[in-house]
Amino acid sequence: MTTEKYLEFDNVTKQYDNFTAVSGLSFSVNKGDIFGFLGPNGAGKSTSIRMLLSLITPTSGDIKLFGTPINQDRNRTIAQVGALVEKPDFYPYLSAERNLDILARLSEIDNRKNKIDEVLELVGLSERRHSKVKTFSQGMKQRLGIAQTLLHSPKLVVLDEPANGLDPQGQVDMRELIVRLNKDKGITIIISSHILNEVEQICNRMVIINKGKSVVEGDVAELLTGSKMKVMLTTDDNDNTMSIISDNEPTVEMKKLNEEKISLQIERESIPKINNLLINNGIKVYSIEPIRSLEEYFIDKTK
């Protein structure tokens, strides 16, 4: 079955005089994705998002939204996209409901009251609908910003650093909200973020860009469990474990973490062999856990 592509960048370049912000960038976002858009500072993420939202025009290359070139039917395609870029701005002395009502009127949204009720419920702000925005925490303002992006029932939502400035609980709330919008409402979501742990937990696909170019794109789980990976091994006898592995698999890199745990740099296919080797030598293996993180992978791909 062919996967429907909601967004396609095809060899997109953006140049400002002698500076190239984005260079031949290609990637795609599929219907139903929670898609991570990653890269170090200056990689071209913000420029790419602005091109996606038709705020700036590519120097060359093609961008398609929902299968249609963005410059061919701009109003129709962009109307199906919601975006929260940087921090949301609202009238601080007006209520959450009043702020959304103003935005809904500007967007000529039908049945405004019902739609405002719906989006406030979705982001968990129904009970604070009459509170002035100046009384909101940063996390609540971020959720109100997402409510704003949902007013026109978009098929695709772009979130630029949605957890930026949030405390740990706020980050958890934001993660749960994003997953709920994707799973329950069927909204495809692009997340540009530097909080790699958040991306690792909720994104199914991602692209990493560096110096305006795509470095790697694919399924998050598959990329993080490539052929060679780090695992943490917990046994009843670390010293004997390291000796057995060293004698039988001299190419395996090992490091003792504490009295019970060691880390191994190992080919994925060798894990069952190592496990059987230890068991056959009387070692009790309590756990084998992958410890390759997105942060480690990101640094490796962008250094």
CATH code, domain carrying 269: 3.30.70.250
Q: Which residues have a Cβ under 8 Å from the Cβ of 152 and sit 6 or more positions away? A: 79, 82, 107, 109
State which of 192, 219, 246 marks the end of a domain.
Answer: 219
211 and 296 fall within a common domain: no
Beta strands 5-16; 19-30: pairing state: antiparallel
Run of H or E residues at 271: helix 271-280
115 and 237 fall within a common domain: no
22 and 158 fall within a common domain: yes
- Residue 258 CA to residue 255 CA, distance in Å, equals 9
293 confidence band (pLDDT: 50, 70, 90): low
268 confidence band (pLDDT: 50, 70, 90): confident
Beta strands 205-210; 188-192: pairing state: unpaired
Average pLDDT (133-147) is: 94
Inform me whether the pLDDT recorded for 209 exceeds 90: yes
174 and 294 fall within a common domain: no
* Helix, strand, coil share (%) of the chain residues, nearest 5: 40, 30, 30
Mean confidence (pLDDT) of the chain: 89
Inform me whether the pLDDT recorded for 228 exceeds 70: no
Cα atoms in the 13 Å half-sphere on the side-chain side of 261:
11
Looking at the DSSP bridge assignments, the partners of residue 15 are 20
Average pLDDT (116-143) is: 94
Residues 22 and 14 sit within 8 Å (Cβ to Cβ): yes
Q: What is the DSSP string of 214-234?
A: EEEEEEHHHHHT-SEEEEEEE
The model's pTM is: 0.80
- pLDDT per residue as tens digits for the range 6-48: 999 999 999 999 999 999 999 999 999 999 999 988 899 999 9
190 and 241 fall within a common domain: no
Quote the pLDDT of residue 225: 65
Inform me whether the pLDDT recorded for 1 exceeds 60: no
271 and 130 fall within a common domain: no
82 and 130 fall within a common domain: yes
State which of 190, 219, 248 marks the end of a domain.
Answer: 219
- Structure tokens that stand for 140 in this block: 């609540």
Inform me whether the pLDDT recorded for 195 exceeds 80: no
Domain count across the chain: 2
Chain centre to alpha carbon of residue 122: 20
Ranges 85-99, 113-127, 228-242: which has the least confidence: 228-242
Note down the domain range covering 105: 5-219
Nearest to 142 by CA among 209, 183, 191, 182: 191
State which of 219, 252, 276 marks the end of a domain.
Answer: 219
- Residue 255 CA to residue 270 CA, distance in Å, equals 17
Q: What is the share, in percent, of the chain residues with pLDDT greater than 90?
A: 56
- pLDDT per residue as tens digits for the range 243-267: 998 888 888 888 887 777 888 877 7
204 and 236 fall within a common domain: no
- pLDDT per residue as tens digits for the range 171-182: 889 999 999 999
23 and 116 fall within a common domain: yes
178 and 279 fall within a common domain: no
272 and 161 fall within a common domain: no
Run of H or E residues at 83: strand 81-84
Q: Specify the CATH number for the domain of residue 118.
A: 3.40.50.300
Ranges 85-99, 155-169, 215-229, 245-259: which has the least confidence: 215-229
Distances (CA, A) of 51 to 13, 63, 113, 173, 292: 10, 8, 32, 29, 33
125 and 242 fall within a common domain: no
